[in-house]
Amino acid sequence: MASSNFVDYVKIYCRSGKGGPGSTHFHREKFIQKGGPDGGDGGRGGHIILKGSKNHWTLIHLKYARHIHAGDGEGGSRSRSFGKDGSDQTIEVPCGTVVYDAETGDFICDITEDGQEVILFPGGRGGQGNWHFRTATNQTPRFSQPGEAGIEKTVILQLKVLADVGLVGFPNAGKSTLLSVVSAAKPEIADYPFTTLVPNLGIVAYRDNKSFVMADIPGIIEGAAEGRGLGLRFLRHIERNSILLFMIPADSENILDEYHILLNELKQYNPELIDKQRILAITKCDLLDEELISEVKKELPKDIQTVFISSVSGLGITELKDLIWEEVNKESNKVVEITHRPMEITYHDAELEEEEIEEEEEEEDDLSQYKGIGWDEL
């Protein structure tokens, strides 16, 4: 996956700026002997700010930004001059980014809207200059306050894609094919399992210039909760979807079984996923004739709306889009708030990511041996 552009996990060391120290200074002027204290305050340290941006779909732009430091505040000075505030550092992230403490795994905050700004770590306050400390009994304070320290912390940014509908199905169910038919997305499609290794997003155009976002995530298999297949690594991307579209091929051996396996895997990952509105699409219906379809109808789960579709012949696609649109817009299906459970820090993703970066760094190192050698010598 090293070559993938889909980065949904980065670890960054952040440090907000130190506050500048207050100044200890006494007014000096010709003919004024005891001008009194006039040391100004130090400037505030720079904040580390997170800002939601719809221009980003993944965290790839932060993959190599491993240290982000905001500027320190400058010290105060004479004549009660304030020190300059340290420069803030704004990190732009895609909507749907969740921030965790890398040491404890605790949830810190999340960014869901374009333009939303959150001060992740505030800069330290500037110290007060000695001017503030003058009193009736101490008119020459020879001290001032130091600036407050900034905050240093390593955080994990994790992306939970914001889509209206998430596709859930076994490998080869035809998820990517559906996405390619209803949107302009060009996911890879093939008749082997796990063609899709990272989520794909597509915007589905609906009537009257309306649209909704569909997320195709890698296939789920029985035991995914224990890490089989691609595991549940990508299931977090459907946590924020308004509805889930389960997809099961018409030629599946047992539709009911397959449905329950999928449901069970979702439940093991996060029981809240079960509360989401679901629609079932029986895919590849072009493979069956009328008679077989009526056979299939007998063995469908009862508690879910079902549509028969074929991405090849176009059967049922409009009906499916109508149904999705209706469900996505229901007030009761809107995702208001999701609970972000603390992250498990031993999560193998973390190691994976580290290894990936190390590998790439090694590659860079290999090239460095040629540095300084003339082209003729190579």
Ligand X SMILES: Nc1nc2c(ncn2[C@@H]2O[C@H](COP(=O)(O)OP(=O)(O)OP(=O)(O)O)[C@@H](O)[C@H]2O)c(=O)[nH]1
Give the whole-angstrom CA distance, residue 143 versus residue 125.
17
193 binds, among ligand X, Mg ion, none (CB under 5 to 8 A by kind): ligand X
Q: Which is nearer to ligand X, 25 or 175 (CB)?
A: 175
Least distance in angstroms from the C-beta of 188 to Mg ion: 7
190 binds, among Mg ion, ligand X, none (CB under 5 to 8 A by kind): ligand X
Asked if 283 interacts with Mg ion (CB under 5 A), we say no
46 binds, among ligand X, Mg ion, none (CB under 5 to 8 A by kind): none
- Which residues are registered as beta bridge partners of 67? 13
Q: Which segment (30-38, 65-73, 187-195, 274-282) binds Mg ion by CB under 5 A?
A: 187-195
Site residues (CB under 6 A) for ligand X, limited to 302-361: 310-312
Asked if 144 interacts with Mg ion (CB under 5 A), we say no
The dihedral sign for the CA sequence 345, 65, 46, 118? negative
Give the whole-angstrom CA distance, residue 151 versus residue 144.
22
Q: Compute CA distances 338 → 231, 248, 273, 373, whole Å.
A: 21, 27, 10, 56
Site residues (CB under 6 A) for ligand X, limited to 212-231: 218-219
Asked if 287 interacts with ligand X (CB under 6 A), we say yes
CA contacts within 13 A on the Cβ side of 273: 25
Asked if 221 interacts with Mg ion (CB under 5 A), we say no
Q: Which segment (13-21, 140-148, 170-178, 273-281) binds ligand X by CB under 6 A?
A: 170-178
Select from 77, 176, 241, 242 the one that contacts Mg ion (CB under 5 A): 176
Least distance in angstroms from the C-beta of 347 to ligand X: 22
Burial (CB count within 10 angstroms: exposed 0-12, middle 13-18, buried 19+), residue 206: middle
Q: Compute CA distances 255 → 169, 281, 282, 294, whole Å.
A: 11, 11, 9, 13
Asked if 200 interacts with ligand X (CB under 6 A), we say no
Least distance in angstroms from the C-beta of 198 to ligand X: 10
Least distance in angstroms from the C-beta of 289 to ligand X: 13
Q: For 243-295, give the DSSP string.
A: EEEEEEETT-S-HHHHHHHHHHHHHHH-GGGGGSEEEEEEE-GGGS-HHHHHH
The dihedral sign for the CA sequence 106, 63, 227, 159? positive
Site residues (CB under 5 A) for Mg ion, limited to 191-210: 195-196
How many residues of this chain bind ligand X (CB under 6 A)? Answer: 24
Q: Which is nearer to Mg ion, 70 or 247 (CB)?
A: 247
CA angle 93, 58, 348 (to 5 degrees): 105
Select from 98, 173, 273, 320 the one that contacts ligand X (CB under 6 A): 173
Q: Which segment (19-27, 173-181, 337-345, 354-362) binds Mg ion by CB under 5 A?
A: 173-181
158 binds, among Mg ion, ligand X, none (CB under 5 to 8 A by kind): none
Q: Decide: helix, strand or coil at residue 51.
A: strand
Binding site for ligand X (CB under 6 A): 169, 171-177, 189-191, 193-196, 218-219, 283-284, 286-287, 310-312
